[in-house]
């Protein structure tokens, strides 16, 4: 009974606990602080250089919206400690199928449905293969990366050329900020609800933090993985839909850097690659916007410099490491949580 009484912490121990709490708070706020600092630098530099801010903001949105949508869906996979390397290839194939569907039907909704159905199917195949053969999801997504690359080549060959063209006038009429905001807002609100309000988000964090404990508590691992990949596939399909509207001429190199950009955006936003309880659904939004603001700021600042691109790459790398270092400082060296 005596041991159950909560005693006040000694002075030194209390100060250590307060410092640890302060570091964790700083780590949690680091990605958002980085975004605010970048936004202020973007406005100050843009005003000093006399750039067209409205056009720059539109460019910023165009650079970030597809990455944010796909990364938001992919968080459901990464929260479980899994990794999908085929996101870019899946986006490409879904966009190509959507483009071919529009050329056959001239229907916007048919194109949207084709993009989403293709991406969700590809994503579920990866999850199903991992479940059937009891393999790590990363392995099956590597295999899907090769398969989807071959499918993309085959789809292009059906046109008899090296690309799939969608009517550019049709694409421009829907490639608007309103369409992008509506698509992004609906999907992000859905993901926030599923991840923060329903049981799915809590279960995925538990699987990412300690899969053995999750399995022993009776959590349906395979069903949870299928649900996560289905949501990620929905995000990829919407990203592919916007890709067709933005780039109506599709080649096998379209969306080639999306997979890496999604990964960088999530880490930029404070997402732990190992998943677990520190997963935050807003990491994709914060990270995607931070990347776009940093790119636009560096473009404005170094536009007249011949070595501007190289300098911009170095600055991006340094800023990326700084944000990640601060974001992980609150839990570095701990065993739990992961």
Strands 249-250 and 164-165: antiparallel
pTM for this entry: 0.84
Number of helices (H), then strands (E), belonging to the chain: the values are: 13, 2
245 backbone dihedrals φ, ψ, rounded to 5°: -65, -35
Peptide bond into 337 cis (omega under 30): yes
Residue 32 three-state SS: helix
CA distances to 157, 249, 258 from 246, rounded to whole Å, are 22, 9, 14
Which stretches in the chain have pLDDT values below 70?
Answer: 1-10, 14, 20-24, 26, 303-309, 323-324, 326-338
pLDDT of residue 91: 93
- Return the H-helix or E-strand segment holding 165: strand 164-165
Q: What percent of the chain has pLDDT over 90?
A: 26
pLDDT of residue 330: 57
Pick from 82, 44, 63: nearest CA to 227: 82
How many alpha carbons fall within 13 Å on the CB side of residue 148? 29
Pick from 169, 151, 70, 62: nearest CA to 116: 70
Alpha carbons 208 and 77: distance in angstroms, whole number: 9
Does residue 278 contact residue 208 with C-beta atoms inside 8 Å? no
pLDDT of residue 240: 94
User: What does the angle CA 139 – CA 331 – CA 5 come to, to the nearest 5 degrees?
Assistant: 125
Is the sign of the CA dihedral 233, 290, 278, 321 positive or negative? positive
Running DSSP on this structure, what letter comes out for residue 3?
Answer: G
How many alpha carbons fall within 13 Å on the CB side of residue 52? 4
pLDDT of residue 327: 64
Can you list the domains of the chain with their CATH numbers? 54-323 (1.10.3470)
Alpha carbons 232 and 222: distance in angstroms, whole number: 15
pLDDT of residue 329: 63
pLDDT of residue 191: 93
Residue 276 three-state SS: coil
DSSP string of 153-222, one letter each residue: HHHHHTTTSS-EE--HHHHHHH-SHHHHHHHHHHHHHHHHHHHHTSHHHHHHHHHHH-HHHHHHTT--HH
């Amino acid at each position: 009974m005596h041991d159950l009484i909560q005693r006040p912490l000694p002075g030194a121990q209390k100060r250590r606990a307060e410092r640890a709490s302060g570091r964790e708070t700083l780590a949690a706020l680091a990605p958002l602080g980085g975004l605010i600092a970048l936004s202020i630098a973007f406005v100050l530099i843009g005003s000093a250089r006399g750039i067209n801010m409205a056009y720059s903001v539109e460019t910023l949105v165009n650079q970030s919206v597809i990455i944010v949508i796909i990364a938001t869906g992919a968080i459901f996979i990464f929260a479980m400690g899994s990794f999908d390397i085929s996101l870019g290839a899946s986006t490409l194939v879904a966009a190509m199928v959507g483009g071919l569907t529009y050329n056959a039907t001239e229907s916007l909704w048919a194109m949207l449905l084709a993009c989403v159905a293709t991406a969700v199917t590809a994503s579920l195949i990866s999850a199903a293969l991992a479940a059937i053969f009891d393999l790590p999801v990363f392995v099956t997504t590597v295999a899907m990366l090769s398969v989807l690359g071959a499918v993309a080549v085959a789809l292009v060959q059906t046109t008899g050329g090296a690309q799939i063209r969608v009517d550019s006038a049709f694409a421009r009429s829907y490639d608007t900020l309103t369409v992008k905001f509506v698509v992004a807002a609906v999907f992000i609100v859905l993901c926030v609800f599923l991840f923060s309000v329903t049981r799915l988000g809590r279960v995925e964090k538990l699987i990412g933090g300690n899969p053995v404990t999750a399995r022993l508590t009776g959590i349906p691992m395979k069903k949870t993985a299928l649900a996560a990949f289905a949501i990620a596939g929905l995000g990829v399909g919407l990203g592919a839909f916007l890709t067709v509207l933005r780039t109506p001429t599709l080649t096998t190199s379209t969306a080639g850097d999306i997979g890496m950009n999604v990964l960088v955006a999530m880490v930029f936003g404070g997402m732990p690659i190992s998943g677990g309880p520190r997963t935050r659904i807003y990491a994709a939004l914060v990270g995607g916007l931070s990347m776009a603001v940093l790119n636009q700021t560096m473009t404005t600042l170094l536009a007249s410099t011949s070595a501007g691109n190289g300098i911009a790459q170095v600055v991006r790398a340094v800023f990326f490491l700084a944000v990640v270092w601060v974001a992980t400082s609150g839990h570095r060296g701990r065993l739990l949580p992961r």
